[in-house]
Amino acid sequence: MPLLIGRLLVFACASLLVASAGEAYFRQRESEGRGVDRFVSDATLGWAARQSTRLLIKSSESTVEVSYNSLGLLGPEIGRDKTPGKLRVLALGDSFTEAAQVPAETRFTTLLQNGLAAEGQVEVLNAGVAGYQTDQEVLAYETRWRDLRPDVVLLFLFIGNDVMGNATDQRQPGVGPRTKPRFHLIAGELILDPLPVGPDGRPLANAFDPRIAHVGTDTAPVDRLKSAAYASSALYRAAADAVYVMRSRFARAQVPFDWTLFARHSDDRVQEAWDLTTALLMRLSRDVTQDGGRLAVVIIPDAIQVDGQRWNEFLRRYAVDAAEWDPAAPDARLAEICDRGRLRCLDLVPALTPRAAEMYYRNDAHLTPAGHRATATAVLDWMRREGLARQ
């Protein structure tokens, strides 16, 4: 018995040392790569960029320094008040606009500013925030950015998840709490279902960084325990994320919720997402027009829409009938919405399809520097044609 107890103690000590080493290792990896410290919890938006922050963000394909100014915009400091005679362009969007995968000088917002400078004084403000959907971008304009009085608002809408993301209050379920605000259409009116907040005014389930999440008192004990472990341990987070990824790769997976809008026949959930997206675009158009600005919508396709090889991989991965799915279906739907709502809209499919394999990172699936150049060129030419390059 003493020998058994001794062996158990040795095993326990060794396990503790391994766990401690693992915890230290994954905490170091998080501090270097995940970049979650660039976000703070926000009671209206779910999460927002941390003001006056600079850090490195690493992925398997890039290492990029990201810098936010004192307003929470990417890039150098600017004054809140517009300079007379200077065109102010506000870029709203998600991680494709934030572009933490490429150096600042190669982002399409930077390239746009450089190109528009030929027309006169200009500043392009990058308000992109990773994970945002159209609903959060509209709320961000209404609560944070409209007092900057932009002359032009460019809304970059990513087909890959923005439309379907408007019909849910969860972002990437299964990898920690990711609660976001959510609108409902009631009698044709957008009604906001606000985030539940705790006594400190922070969302009960933080939207981006589960390490600072709160858990409601009505949450099941096992879920509270899992949330607490996810919040406190980098080792547990790494293990939970790995299990989630393995399940998604090797299980008999269904088509991801965000990609169901590629089906030729829409179900009720897809129809709801399109109805919400339409209402949100029209609301933002009214907001910007009322503020004396001009709205323009830029549609960023998913990589599977412009790269035939990736589309075929999608069909094989989910064993779906090619006749029932169409990579162009969302763009056709958006073209109808833009035409009916008299919105200025630019679809980037023609700009990104040539040399499609070079436009997106293979693993990360965001735009490469080449993709940003193609985007900036297409948007700049379009802005000039639409009379948006001048005040």
Q: What is the pLDDT of residue 180?
A: 82
Distance of alpha carbon 46 from alpha carbon 37, whole angstroms: 15
Asked, for residue 170, whether it belongs to a domain, the answer is yes
Asked, for residue 28, whether it belongs to a domain, the answer is no
Asked, for residue 342, whether it belongs to a domain, the answer is yes
Q: Provide the number of structural domains found in the chain.
A: 1
Asked, for residue 319, whether it belongs to a domain, the answer is yes
Distance of alpha carbon 320 from alpha carbon 326, whole angstroms: 11
Q: What is the pLDDT of residue 110?
A: 97
Instruction: Give the pair of three-digit tokens for residue 159.
Output: 């087909």
Q: Using CA atoms of 125, 131, 134, 139 in order, give the dihedral in degrees to the nearest 10.
A: -70
**In this structure, what CATH number is given to the domain that contains residue 270?**
3.40.50.1110
Is 241 in a helix, a strand, or coil? helix
Give me the domain span that covers residue 76: 34-385
Is the Cα torsion angle 271, 273, 276, 279 positive or negative in sign? negative
Distance of alpha carbon 379 from alpha carbon 346, whole angstroms: 8
Q: What is the pLDDT of residue 237?
A: 64
Asked, for residue 18, whether it belongs to a domain, the answer is no
Q: What is the pLDDT of residue 173?
A: 41
Give burial (CB, 10 Å; 0-12/13-18/19+) of 149.
middle
> Could you tell me the pTM of the whole model?
0.83
Asked, for residue 325, whether it belongs to a domain, the answer is yes
Q: What is the pLDDT of residue 60?
A: 75
At 178-225, the pLDDT tens digits run 578 899 999 999 999 877 666 666 655 443 443 333 334 444 566 556
Asked, for residue 29, whether it belongs to a domain, the answer is no
Which residues are within 8 A (CB) of 235 and not within 5 positions of it... i.e. 6 or more apart? 19, 22, 23, 26
CA 347 from chain centre, in angstroms, equals 18
Q: Report the DSSP beta bridge partners of residue 263.
A: 325
Q: What is the pLDDT of residue 179?
A: 72
pLDDT (tens digit, 0 to 9) for every residue of the chain, 391 residues total? 566 666 667 666 766 776 677 667 656 665 544 445 678 888 888 888 889 988 888 877 888 888 999 999 999 999 899 889 899 999 999 999 999 999 999 999 999 999 999 888 999 999 999 889 999 999 999 999 999 999 999 999 999 999 999 998 765 543 334 578 899 999 999 999 877 666 666 655 443 443 333 334 444 566 556 656 665 676 776 676 666 555 555 555 688 888 999 999 989 999 999 999 999 999 999 999 999 999 999 999 999 999 999 999 999 999 999 999 999 999 999 999 999 999 999 999 999 999 999 999 998 889 999 999 999 999 999 999 999 988 7
Closest CA to 33 of 112, 100, 104: 100
Asked, for residue 21, whether it belongs to a domain, the answer is no
Q: What is the pLDDT of residue 117?
A: 92
Give burial (CB, 10 Å; 0-12/13-18/19+) of 138.
buried
Under 8 Å between Cβ of 63 and 100 = no
